[in-house]
């Protein structure tokens, strides 16, 4: 027997931390020579190519045309410092351009290169972008797909996949800072998935919340954690996963695709409202997309090569075709089968029976069945009738009268088949959610009344100027800007007072208690010192040279505190410029 080939590719450049490699290169040879009493003969095994980072061979397309920044050149700001807008994108300059291929390049010398879109200057029209990644080959993902966003992760996006080279698409995972608001789905985490619902398409809030653009840049499609449901946390028991791949309907297809598409629906907002006076800080920028995957060869090939710019399995077991999806010449096309991981550890090659009687052997076999394709993502919420569609892997919920699941806030339900749930439509009384069990954004639950009460949701009514967001906590607390407080952020904290126009709380510059106004000056409305005739300066600290008195220099005594007052003043001015 040949010794198993070491998983060289994995060890060298590709995926050093990958469980699939650590398991000793299982399924990496298709056959080995064995000498028995009858003479030498081939022993055949199920086999698959090693994983690779498929970003190296992906075709990238971005839509709509003109979404990439730089033509014409454009200035942009950042969320972290919206007042420094010195950065520029210029497609005609190699140093300042941000074309799509920078999402898949190899970065050298620590230099981050990224694709960047135009800014959201056309607000309120949404800033939408599609990124389509194509391989023209079916692939099986083997580790997390990770997308790196510079300058903040989108507040809402969908990852989609195609199994048929882009003809039909289905959602893979939804991402939003508020799943209910963006997609009408309750937020989930992959860690909540169990064997029975591992292939469920979820919406997660884990990768969209604002935590600062520099702190967290990744948006992840979690493959490792899904494998871990069967293989254990460190993917120690890969055999269990391989077994499930063979026995659980839809599992292998769930991890298979020929194309991926990112639909970017709303950029990072910095955790607050869209600020219309500075739209140059809203855009998308992606520096890298890692897609650790292997070619799908139906377990009939241990190598996959790039030939004529197309990935192609090097088929063994007398199979042929790009995915080894049909018989080699001279073999009964009907006898084609994928090889199998079972029985472990070497699997079954399921090779063909030679049948010279069959003419024209290289006829393509019936296509490998693809799972049903969901309808268009966003139209699927519309049907207002309750349909009972059975689903193979999950229990279809009973169809109860809408009153019961909707807590009396809606009398219509709809069945969303790609996530296999019944959801209430048009929740009234400011409720929302699958069962109208939550309050709409901007409302909070009055816990003293029952869930089916028409007044169960009370408006947050956050002060628009001194709150960071119109949303409030479950107990109705608004998020206040510095200086304001109270449930609605409508009172000023100690040391702050309302601005004259009543717009927000600003820090006091003076008051009559601390006697910051000197030389008999009085504090006017906490914001300025009114000085006697012969003094001037923000704190009346400077003597004025009055001709009749001669010039008296009476400022020495206060010069030391002057600097600190000026410092305070500068701070206050900066503060009022910011808000
Ligand atoms: C993205 O793709 C979807 C599906 O084809 C399409 O409906 C949508 O208009 C595209 N968006 C953009 C911005 O091109
Ligand atoms: C895609 O792959 C097929 C082989 O399956 C090949 O015939 C075709 O030319 C490829 N298309 C492109 C655009 O590379
Ligand atoms: C998956 O199933 C488990 C156990 O059956 C359940 O606790 C969990 O909520 C389900 N997750 C989703 C996203 O439906
Ligand atoms: C492939 O076909 C040849 C005949 O063309 C046969 O000798 C050989 O054993 C077959 N190999 C496998 C792995 O089926
Ligand atoms: C909650 O409901 C109770 C009973 O109807 C009512 O007295 C109270 O004012 C409500 N609370 C709010 C915050 O509206
Ligand atoms: C300012 O004027 C007041 C009286 O109006 C006088 O007592 C004081 O000495 C003057 N101070 C200076 C610095 O001129
Ligand atoms: Ca890059």
Spell out which residues line ligand 1, taking CB within 6 angstroms: 63-64, 128-130, 263
Question: How buried is residue 371: exposed, middle or buried, by Cβ count under 10 Å (0-12/13-18/19+)?
Answer: middle
Question: Average pLDDT for residues 119-144, to the nearest whole number?
Answer: 96
Distance 543 CA to ligand 6 centre (A): 9
Which CATH number belongs to the domain containing residue 179 in this structure? 2.60.120.260
pLDDT band at 408 (very low <50, low <70, confident <90, very high): confident
> What digits encode the pLDDT tens for the residues 545-558?
766 555 555 444 44
Query: Would you say residue 192 lies in a domain?
Result: yes
Q: Are 68 and 216 within one domain?
A: yes
Of 459, 483, 517, which closes a domain?
Answer: 459
Q: What is the DSSP string of 318-339?
A: TEESTTS-EEPTTB-GGG----
The ligand placed nearest to the CA atom of residue 308 is 2
pLDDT of residue 550: 55
Distance 172 CA to ligand 7 centre (A): 24
Ligand 3 pocket, 558 CB below 6 A?
no
Query: Would you say residue 191 lies in a domain?
Result: yes
Query: Would you say residue 317 lies in a domain?
Result: no
SS3 content of the chain, % helix, strand, coil (to 5): 15, 30, 55
**Which range of residues forms the domain containing residue 539?**
508-547
Q: Are 145 and 235 within one domain?
A: yes
**Count of Cβ atoms closer than 10 Å to residue 486 Cβ:** 14
**8-state DSSP, 50:** P
Which CATH number belongs to the domain containing residue 512 in this structure? 2.10.25.10
Best-predicted range by mean pLDDT (242-246, 359-363, 437-441):
242-246
pLDDT of residue 37: 82
Q: Are 234 and 158 within one domain?
A: yes
Ligand 6 pocket, 549 CB below 6 A?
yes
Of all protein residues, the one whose alpha carbon is nearest to atom 9 of ligand 2 is 310
Spell out which residues line ligand 5, taking CB within 6 angstroms: 446, 448-449, 458
Query: Would you say residue 101 lies in a domain?
Result: yes
Q: Are 77 and 187 within one domain?
A: yes
Which comes out higher in pLDDT, residue 338 or 425? 338
Q: Are 61 and 176 within one domain?
A: yes
Q: Are 518 and 450 within one domain?
A: no
Query: Would you say residue 156 lies in a domain?
Result: yes
Check residue 520 and give left, alpha or beta (phi > 0: left; psi -120 to 50: alpha).
Answer: left
Distance 534 CA to ligand 6 centre (A): 6
Of 398, 430, 459, which closes a domain?
Answer: 459
Q: Are 111 and 257 within one domain?
A: yes
Query: Would you say residue 224 lies in a domain?
Result: yes
Q: Are 57 and 142 within one domain?
A: yes
- State yes or no: pLDDT of 354 exceeds 60: no
Distance 409 CA to ligand 7 centre (A): 48
Q: Are 522 and 455 within one domain?
A: no
> What digits encode the pLDDT tens for the residues 157-215?
999 999 999 999 999 999 999 999 899 999 999 999 999 999 999 999 999 988 887 88
The ligand placed nearest to the CA atom of residue 285 is 7
Q: Are 444 and 515 within one domain?
A: no
Q: Which H or E run contains 23?
A: none
**Count of Cβ atoms closer than 10 Å to residue 223 Cβ:** 20
CA 187/CA 178 separation, integer angstroms = 8
- Is the whole model's pTM more than 0.85, yes or no? no
Query: Would you say residue 444 lies in a domain?
Result: yes
- Number of domains composing the chain: 3
Of 394, 429, 459, which closes a domain?
Answer: 459
Side-chain-side CA neighbours of residue 103 (13 Å)? 26
Query: Would you say residue 69 lies in a domain?
Result: yes
Full 3-state SS string of 173-188: EEEECCHHHHHCCCEC
Ligand 3 pocket, 188 CB below 6 A?
yes
Q: Are 444 and 513 within one domain?
A: no
Whether cis (ω within 30° of 0) applies to the bond prior to 72 is yes
Ligand 6 pocket, 552 CB below 6 A?
yes
pLDDT band at 464 (very low <50, low <70, confident <90, very high): confident
Q: What is the DSSP string of 291-305?
A: -EEEE--TTBEEEEE
Of all protein residues, the one whose alpha carbon is nearest to atom 13 of ligand 4 is 317
Q: Are 111 and 180 within one domain?
A: yes
The ligand placed nearest to the CA atom of residue 447 is 5
CA 141/CA 134 separation, integer angstroms = 14
């Amino acid at each position: 027997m040949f010794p198993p080939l070491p998983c060289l590719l994995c060890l060298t450049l590709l995926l050093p931390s990958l469980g699939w490699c650590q398991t000793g290169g299982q399924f990496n040879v298709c056959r080995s020579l064995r000498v028995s009493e009858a003479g030498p003969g081939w022993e055949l095994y199920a086999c698959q190519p090693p994983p690779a980072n498929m970003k190296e061979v992906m075709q990238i397309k971005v839509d709509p045309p003109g979404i990439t920044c730089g033509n014409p050149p454009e200035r942009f700001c950042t969320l972290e410092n919206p007042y420094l807008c010195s950065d520029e994108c210029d497609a005609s300059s190699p140093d300042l351009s941000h074309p799509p291929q920078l999402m898949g390049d190899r970065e050298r010398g620590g230099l981050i290169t990224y694709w960047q879109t135009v800014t959201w200057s056309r607000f309120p029209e949404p800033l939408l972008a599609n990124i389509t990644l194509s391989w023209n080959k079916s692939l099986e993902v083997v580790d997390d797909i990770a997308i790196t966003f510079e300058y903040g992760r989108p507040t809402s996006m969908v990852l989609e996949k195609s199994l048929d080279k882009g003809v039909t698409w289905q959602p893979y995972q939804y991402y939003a800072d508020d799943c209910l608001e963006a997609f009408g789905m309750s937020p989930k985490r992959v860690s909540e998935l169990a064997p029975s619902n591992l292939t469920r398409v979820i919406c997660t809030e884990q990768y969209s919340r604002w935590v600062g653009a520099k702190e967290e840049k990744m948006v992840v499609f979690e493959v490792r954690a899904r494998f871990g449901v069967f293989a254990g946390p460190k993917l120690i028991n890969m055999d269990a996963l391989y077994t499930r791949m063979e026995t659980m309907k839809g599992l292998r297809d769930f991890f298979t695709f020929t194309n991926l598409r990112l639909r970017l629906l709303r950029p990072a907002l910095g955790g607050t409202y869209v600020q219309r006076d500075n739209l140059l800080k809203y855009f998308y920028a992606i520096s890298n997309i890692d897609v650790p995957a292997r070619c799908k060869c139906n377990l009939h090939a241990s190598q996959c090569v790039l030939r004529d710019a197309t990935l192609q399995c090097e088929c063994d077991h007398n199979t042929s075709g790009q995915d080894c999806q049909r018989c080699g010449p001279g073999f009964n096309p009907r006898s084609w089968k994928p090889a199998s991981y079972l029985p472990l550890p070497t699997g079954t090659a399921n090779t063909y029976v030679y049948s010279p009687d069959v003419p024209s052997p290289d006829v393509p076999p019936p296509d490998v069945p693809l799972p049903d394709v969901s309808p268009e993502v966003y139209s699927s919420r519309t049907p207002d009738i309750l349909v009972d569609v059975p689903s193979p892997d999950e229990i279809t919920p009973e169809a109860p009268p809408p009153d019961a699941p909707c807590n009396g806030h809606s009398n219509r339900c709809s069945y969303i088949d790609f996530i296999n749930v019944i959801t209430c439509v048009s929740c009234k009384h400011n409720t929302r959610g699958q069962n109208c069990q939550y309050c709409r954004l901007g409302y909070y639950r009055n816990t003293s009344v029952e869930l089916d009460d028409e007044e169960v949701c009370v408006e947050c009514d956050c002060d628009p100027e001194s709150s960071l967001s119109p949303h409030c906590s479950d107990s109705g607390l608004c998020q206040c800007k510095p200086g304001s407080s109270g449930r609605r952020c409508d009172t000023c904290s100690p040391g702050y007072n309302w601005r004259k126009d009543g717009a927000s709380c600003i820090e006091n510059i003076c008051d009559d208690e601390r006697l910051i106004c000197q030389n008999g000056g009085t504090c006017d409305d906490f914001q300025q010192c009114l000085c006697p005739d012969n003094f001037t300066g923000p704190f009346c600290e400077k003597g004025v040279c009055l001709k009749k008195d001669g010039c008296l220099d009476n400022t020495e005594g206060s010069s030391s505190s002057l600097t600190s007052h000026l410092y305070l003043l500068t701070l206050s001015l900066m503060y009022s410029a910011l808000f």
